[in-house]
Amino acid sequence: MHDTRRMTQTDTKSHLLKIPVRTSQAAASVGELFFNCSTGTNQNRRASTSMAVVYKVITVGSPSVGKSSICIHAMNNKNVEWNEVTVGATFFVLALEVDGVPVKFEIWDTGGQERFQSLVPLYYRNAHAAIVVYNVTDKNTFDKVDYWVQELRKYDNTNAVMALVGNKADLKSEQVVNTREARKYAESNGLIFLETSAKTGINVKNIFIAIARDIKNKTPGPPADRVLQKKTLQQTSCCH
Ligand SMILES: Nc1nc2c(ncn2[C@@H]2O[C@H](COP(=O)(O)OP(=O)(O)OP(=O)(O)O)[C@@H](O)[C@H]2O)c(=O)[nH]1
């Protein structure tokens, strides 16, 4: 069903390179992975050339909940009709200023299909944060949230920040996942919680702002385990 989805907006497509890569270390153990690489708008590209704190983030969740659409909206500041199944993972770079500090998010947006789930630990390695996404109009995707949270916790990354995101919040009349129930789950498991819409953009950037603040709170003072970079995106692109 999902294989028929295709991207319809050409300007964003022009930022995407679909390439087979033999990734080093982690991915080498599973052979050759395929992923897309996107560096976003010119504004995003310019912002990321200055000194920035770099955070590695991954997205996980059921298929079609809107993981890629969230990343794409955050980077382009607009709704982009996205109809492409993520194969393996897509790499995005998002540059934002958070409380006066330039932050570069290196996002591994993982494919939600079951055949890609075994790859998640590889992308999660050394991640500063994970975004667990469900679709507010599909209870099955919320029921899968706890599986993702427990899986991520297994991967020995206890310091990572986790955010629970209920996407497609623009479809209010179709919402079946109760906001209070989702928030309660998030609070009792120490997760950031937001409902978003990749269509209208509501709360999309706020996810990343909340994550950056949470990481900073967990690691106060000089950024010891955070990397300060002064590189252009050409230098940091995933395609080398
Ligand atoms: N109405 C609405 N539709 C959305 C929203 N976010 C995504 N969609 C649509 O949902 C479908 C799936 O979006 P994707 O971003 O590809 O979902 P995904 O979670 O990355 O899917 P996989 O690659 O299969 O893991 C697309 O048709 C999107 O246009 C949203 O906030 N509101």
> Is a pLDDT exceeding 60 seen at residue 40?
no
> Is a pLDDT exceeding 80 seen at residue 177?
yes
The pLDDT of residue 240 is 31
What count of Cα atoms within 13 Å lies in the side-chain half-sphere of residue 140?
4
CB atoms within 10 A of CB 5: 13
Q: Is the CB of 49 under 6 A from ligand 1?
A: no
What's the mean pLDDT when you consider all of the chain?
77
CB atoms within 10 A of CB 219: 14
> Is a pLDDT exceeding 80 seen at residue 20?
no
Task: Give a three-class secondary structure readout of the chain.
Answer: CHHHCCCCCHHHHCCEEEEEECCCHHHHHHCCEEEEEECCCHHHHHHCCCCEEEEEEEEEECCCCCHHHHHHHHHHCCCCCCCCCCCCEEEEEEEEEECCEEEEEEEEEECCCHHHHHHHHHHHCCCCEEEEEEECCCHHHHHCHHHHHHHHHHCCCCCCEEEEEEECCCCHHHCCCCHHHHHHHHHHCCCEEEECCCCCCCCHHHHHHHHHHHHHHHCCCCCCCCEEECCCHHHHCCCC
Nearest CA to ligand 1 atom 7: 66
Nearest CA to ligand 1 atom 11: 64
Q: Closest ligand 1 atom, CA of 84?
A: 16
Ligand 1 center from residue 92 Cα (angstroms): 16
Q: Is the CB of 171 under 6 A from ligand 1?
A: yes
Q: Is the CB of 201 under 6 A from ligand 1?
A: no
Burial class (CB in 10 A: 0-12, 13-18, 19+), 9: middle
* Residues 143-156: b if buried by 16+ CB within 10 A, e if exposed: ebbeebbebbeeee
Domain edges within the chain: 18-219
Q: Closest ligand 1 atom, CA of 111?
A: 25
Summarize the confidence of residues 97-110 as an average pLDDT.
95
Closest to 62 measured CA to CA, from 85, 91, 37: 85
> Is a pLDDT exceeding 90 seen at residue 166?
yes
Summarize the confidence of residues 110-126 as an average pLDDT.
91
Task: Output 44 or 186, whichever has higher pLDDT.
Answer: 186
CB atoms within 10 A of CB 210: 18
Q: Is the CB of 40 under 6 A from ligand 1?
A: no
Q: Is the CB of 170 under 6 A from ligand 1?
A: yes
For 18-219, the fitting CATH number among 3.30.300.180, 3.40.50.300, 1.10.1060.10, 3.40.50.170 is: 3.40.50.300
Q: Closest ligand 1 atom, CA of 81?
A: 29
Q: Is the CB of 90 under 6 A from ligand 1?
A: no
Lowest mean pLDDT among 11-15, 29-33, 160-164: 29-33
Q: Which two tokens stand for residue 136?
A: 């507010």
Summarize the confidence of residues 169-193 as an average pLDDT.
98
Summarize the confidence of residues 92-119 as an average pLDDT.
93
Summarize the confidence of residues 86-102 as an average pLDDT.
93
Closest to 123 measured CA to CA, from 96, 163, 89: 89
Residues 180, 175: Cα–Cα separation, whole Å: 12
